[in-house]
Every structure is written in structure tokens, then in C-alpha cells.
Structure 1
Amino acid sequence: MSVAEKNKELFSSYYERWVSIYKDGAVRDVTLRKYHMTAQWVRKLISDVRLCDMTRSVYQQLINDYAKHHERQTTMDFHHQLKGAILDAVDEGLIKRDPTRKAIIKGRSPRDKKIKYLNQYELHILLKNLELAEDVNWDWFILLIAKTGLRFSEALALTRADFDFAHQTLNINKTWDYKGNGGFLPTKNRSSVRKVQIDWQTVMQFASLTRNMREDIPIFVKEGRIYNSTVNGRLERLCRNLNLPVISIHGLRHTHASILLFAGVSIASVARRLGHASMTTTQKTYLHIIQELENQDIDRVMRAISSLS
């Protein structure tokens, strides 16, 4: 395709071709699906805009139209996914100037997202009423996530070899592709590769439970696809039967983190245990808990000051 022909190419076609060349096979499937979703929105919003017609005003209008239907952070992600392709087009001389320069990112105000988690007493009731059979079942899965705070895909990928029973640790170095065709995948990020300390009781339970299992086979994955709705359904029934707040498996991860924070564990330690890329993620996710702890600290400070004489 000549430069003249490329200049007349629709921007939506160029973007889809760019995704195919630069992203297909280079990013994880879940990320690639986001690029394809961006391509669908481009085709929907500016189906007739040519590559050579992509000016700052045209691009800003695209961002504005997308922002009508999405929160600001989602719009920011949309902008970043487009910007890579556009900058390449500028480098190739297909667009004269960078139309993304000084783009104003708008978007709907984020909805209040109340993180659902159990307190320590409620978690105790839940764990006490699990039906822990002699063979692996989903109640064992619920117990392990409650004790470790692992992500759903991380827990699914666990094999017997990942348990270091002598040192009471779990080696987290992979995930399970439950959204696709199964199989091991890399962790979410480099920080997700970690060792998670586990208590002696959990060590003894899983040493016995996995005694006759192969070292390289996922403990919780049997034949057929795994759906998180199956496990969430089991957890929901347990919560309802016990008159507890209904939470999801991901809510168990939040429960684990919140109990640690209320116990006085540092944010840095919680972030490492959860496999967060930075403490900022932990702080943003558990801001309401941190604020509550700060209020408790203020009370402690005032009591300490008032006792001085």
C-alpha cells in the first residue's frame, strides 16, 4: 500500500491493522480483547474518518463522544490505546501532527464502589461451617483464598509442587486461563510472583489433602472448563444460609486484606502479600479501611496527649 493510499485509508481500518501487527501475540489475551473493544468503538464513533483527516479537533470529539458512555479512567485507557497507534502513524508520515497532544480527558463521575468484605467474626463463622471433604472440593478453595488472599486465577493454578510445606509458604508464579481454553499463564505482573506465608494448620490440611496428587497438576482443576460463577454460587449459598453478607470470591481477597490491615499489618506487607504492583494500588483499594484506622490513631494520639501532665 502506497503512502497516498494509506493516507486515504479509514482510521478504523488502520487501527485494526495496527492492533493485528503490533499487539496480536505480544500481549495477553485479556489485554488484546481490550484493544479489539477499542477498535469496535472507533468503528462505531468515526467509521467514515480517514487517517489523513485525524486532526486534534476530530480526535478530541472522538474522546468526548466516548466519554459520554464511560467513566474518566476508562476514557483514559481508551485514549492510551489509541495514542500508540496514532504516534506510529505520525512517525510514518501518515499524519502530519500528533492529534492526541493536549487532549482533554473527560468522562462520567465514577460510581461509588463499596467493597464487600466480611469482618473477622463473620469470616470465622463462614470458615467454621465449610464442608471440607476428604477430597478436593470448592470449600477447600474458599478456605485457601480466605487464608491467603490469592486471586481466583492464582489459586486455580496451584499444584502440589507450589506448596513448600517445610517452610510454610506458597509459591505463586503462574495463573490458570479459566476465561479461555485452560492451561497455565503468567501472573498479572512481576510483583504477583511471590511467596505467601501460610499458617501451620493450613499446611497440615493441604499436605494431607494433596498427598497422593501429582506435583504438576492443578489441585482444583478437574475436567472441563472452570467458571468463577460456580465457586461464587457456592460461596453465596453459604453466606445466605449463615445469614452473612453475600460476598464473592474476590470479596474474600478483600476480606483477607482488611483483616490484616485492622490487625496492624503495614500497607507495604499487605501489598506484597496480595501481589500488588505498588502500595498505591493497595492504598486506593482500601482507602476506607485506612481512613478508619487513621481515625482510631487520632483517638490514640489524643488519649496519649491528654495523659501528659
Structure 2
Amino acid sequence: MILMHHCRSPPSFQSLNKQCSSLHQKSLKGSFFMSKKRFSKKLFYKYYRQWISLYKENAIRRITLEKYQLVYRKLVELAPDLHMDELDRQTYQALLNKYAATHEHKTVLDFHHHLKAAIVDAVDDGLLEADPTRRVTIKGRKPSKKKTKYLNLFELQSLLRQLNLTDEISWDWFILLVAKIGLRYAEALALTPADFDFEKQELIINKSWDYKSKTGGYQPTKNESSNRRVMIDWQLANQFKTLIQKKSLHETIFVPHGKRVYNSTINKILERYCTRAGIPVISIHGLRHTHASILLLENVSVASVAKRLGHSNTTTTQQTYIHIIRELENKDTDKVLQSLAKLS
């Protein structure tokens, strides 16, 4: 006996066609919403200004914010009609090339990095289809002849002999302090008697002075790593213990009350002393470089120098003082070869 199985009748061709058509429409509708983008047509400089306001204001130090604002002003000048939907690799490269025509390579690289931060966010937010900064070429004018950044030990000693170290606080004492400790200019300006720990022979750096504003005042250090305690020699400790004994504990040592200080003032004093000593003219920041360079040449480790300077990592120190490190490597190579020669 043949058993007959009961089943539904197959759907008609028209029914299948309707189902396929319905599914196709849903698929198209879904893919439309999935692929729909919010590519912006806003002017690029307007987007950048809004991005600075949204992500950078009240989040970074004023001096860093000013760098972003400077890039914004250059953007208005170089690309006032560039819209976001026109921003691709070619237009971005053309923008960099235009900036590079009047700036050195390192400056162009900084300009690029400040813009790239905003552009990457625009890509993530769906305002740009692709990242136009990929594989760009950083150009720039040939570097101009650089001023001397640091002195050797003999030159520094010649400079320090020019100082008139009286019983009163002066810029000459300021020069000595920066040369011996390697402080940043703003860090040295912010020092108070409370920052000297004479028992431990240490100097506490936990703030800087806002010398660029008219009102002045304390501000945070450059970064978290800049908050540090630095060892000072006994002679310097004794000298400053006497110099600041009449000052109140939290009174600035070098900044007169209610007066504004300019780094050009100290640099002019330095220039006069350098000229008198017959050595290359350096800036106050050059004394910081001098301090680090001498320590490295005296075989102090890169890690110790980085900590003393308040660098966030040793990479910064290595990049800044690569000329010294290469010189030391050459000396080490000579030592290695001499040692190996003794084995024969």
C-alpha cells in the first residue's frame, strides 16, 4: 500500500515573485540607511575652530592652546575656501606644501600634527569619507643657521665668572641657579623659599610662572613629569639659604611683587656676559641644554638626566640631545676596540 503524505501546495510563481520583490526592497532600504553618511560641507577652518573650542579649551595649558589657535589663523589665511567635502589627500598635501613654502620642515611637521588630530576625529565622526592625512609628504625650507644651543664646560665656567653674585637676589643668581639645576625659565621664576628643602639638599618643582600674561601668576608645570625634586649641591644650598632668609615662605624669589618679567630681559644680560667672556651667545633656555649636555658628557645616565629635567620619558631626552649621545657612542666604540685589542 502506498502511503500518501499530506503537504502544502507549492507557492505560485506570482507569490514567489512578490516575496522576492519585497525582500529586495527591504534590503535596498536597509543598505541605504547603512551607507548613508553625514559627510560635512562646512568650511574646514570653521570645523577646526569648533573642534578647538569643543576638545581643547579648558583642557590644555594656555600656551599649548595658543599653538592650536595659531594653526587656526594660518588655516584661515591659506585655505579660506576649502570645504570639508573637498578635503582629500591632494588638497591636504597642497595645503601643507603651501605652508612649507615659507616654513622649515620641523615647523611644517608641527602644523600637520595639530591639524591631523582634528581630521582623525572628523573621520571617526563620519564627517569625512577617508583620512586625507595618510602617507602625506612633509616638506619645508632648508633650516636656517641655528644659534648655539648649549655651551661646553669650559665656556660655562667662563660665563659664570662674569656673574656679580652680591648679597642681594638678582638675575645673576637666577643665571647661576638655572645653569646648575637645568630648570625651565618659567619654573625658576615660580620658585619660593618654601620650595627649598635644605635638610635634604633638594629643590621642589611643582609649579611655573605665567610670564607671558600681563597679570602673571602661578600655573601648572609643563606636564606631570615636570613635578619633581632635584638634588642641589651644598654650596648652592648654603648660598640660597642666606639669600632668601628674609623673604616670606611663599613669596616669589625672583619676580618682584606686582611687576611683569620678560625673558628678553634675562637674555640681554646673558648676551652681554657671553660677549664679555668671548663665548657663543646663548639664551636662558640654552643654559638648560648646557646643564643636560654636561651631565651626559660626564656619563650620567639618560634616565637620570630625563628625571632631573622633568621629561616625561627618556625618548624626549634622547631626541633632544642626540648629538651628545652620538658623541658618547663614538667614545664607547673606541673603549670597546681598545679593550678587545688587549685580549690578543
Normalising by structure 2, report the TM-score.
0.81
| 1:265-294 superposed Cα distances (whole Å, 9 cap, x missing partner) | 111111111112222222222222222222
Q: Give the 3-state SS of the residue equivalent to 2:50 in structure 1.
A: helix
Q: Label 1:169 to 1:57 Cα distance change in 2 as closer, same or farther (>3 A).
A: same
Structure 2 unmatched ranges of 5 or more: 1-37
Q: Label 1:244 to 1:78 Cα distance change in 2 as closer, same or farther (>3 A).
A: closer
Q: Give the 3-state SS of the residue equivalent to 1:235 in structure 2.
A: helix
| 1:178-212 superposed Cα distances (whole Å, 9 cap, x missing partner) | 11231111111122111110000111011111111
Q: Give the 3-state SS of the residue equivalent to 2:203 in structure 1.
A: strand
Task: Choose which of 246, 258, 267 in structure 1 pairs with 2:302.
Answer: 267
Displacement of 1:230 in angstroms is 0.6
Task: Choose which of 169, 181, 206 in structure 1 pairs with 2:240.
Answer: 206
CA distance in 2, matches of 1:276, 1:60: 33
Q: Label 1:160 to 1:49 Cα distance change in 2 as closer, same or farther (>3 A).
A: same
Task: Choose which of 337, 340, 343 in structure 2 pairs with 1:302.
Answer: 337
Q: Label 1:94 to 1:260 Cα distance change in 2 as closer, same or farther (>3 A).
A: closer
CA distance in 2, matches of 1:246, 1:77: 27
Match of 1:24 in 2: 57
Q: Which range moves more in the overlay, 82-91 or 212-221?
A: 82-91
Could you tell me which amino acid in structure 2 is paired with residue 161 of structure 1? A
Match of 1:13 in 2: 46
CA distance in 1, matches of 2:94, 2:224: 37
RMSD in angstroms over aligned alpha carbons? 2.3
Q: For the Cα contact (< 8 Å) 1:115–1:254, is it kept in 2?
A: no
Displacement of 1:59 in angstroms is 2.2
- The 5 A counterparts of 1:140-159 are 140-159=173-192
Match of 2:32 in 1: none
Match of 2:217 in 1: 183
CA distance in 1, matches of 2:217, 2:336: 52
CA distance in 1, matches of 2:42, 2:86: 10
Q: Give the 3-state SS of the residue equivalent to 1:158 in structure 2.
A: coil
CA distance in 2, matches of 1:87, 1:300: 48
Match of 1:219 in 2: 253
Displacement of 1:99 in angstroms is 2.9
Q: Label 1:199 to 1:152 Cα distance change in 2 as closer, same or farther (>3 A).
A: same
Task: Choose which of 127, 144, 156 in structure 2 pairs with 1:94.
Answer: 127
| 1:60-115 superposed Cα distances (whole Å, 9 cap, x missing partner) | 32223223333333323222322333334344443333333443433345456464
Displacement of 1:258 in angstroms is 1.8
Q: Give the 3-state SS of the residue equivalent to 1:34 in structure 2.
A: helix
Task: Choose which of 64, 74, 77 in structure 2 pairs with 1:44.
Answer: 77
Task: Choose which of 94, 97, 101 in structure 2 pairs with 1:61.
Answer: 94
Displacement of 1:27 in angstroms is 1.6
Match of 2:320 in 1: 285
Q: Give the 3-state SS of the residue equivalent to 1:17 in structure 2.
A: helix
Structure 1 unmatched ranges of 5 or more: none
CA distance in 2, matches of 1:74, 1:12: 19
Q: Label 1:300 to 1:91 Cα distance change in 2 as closer, same or farther (>3 A).
A: closer
Alignment size in residue pairs: 306
> Is 1:248 aligned with 2:283?
yes
Match of 2:229 in 1: 195
Displacement of 1:301 in angstroms is 2.7
Q: For the Cα contact (< 8 Å) 1:257–1:270, is it kept in 2?
A: yes
Q: For the Cα contact (< 8 Å) 2:41–2:83, is it kept in 1?
A: yes
Normalising by structure 1, report the TM-score.
0.90
CA distance in 2, matches of 1:83, 1:118: 37
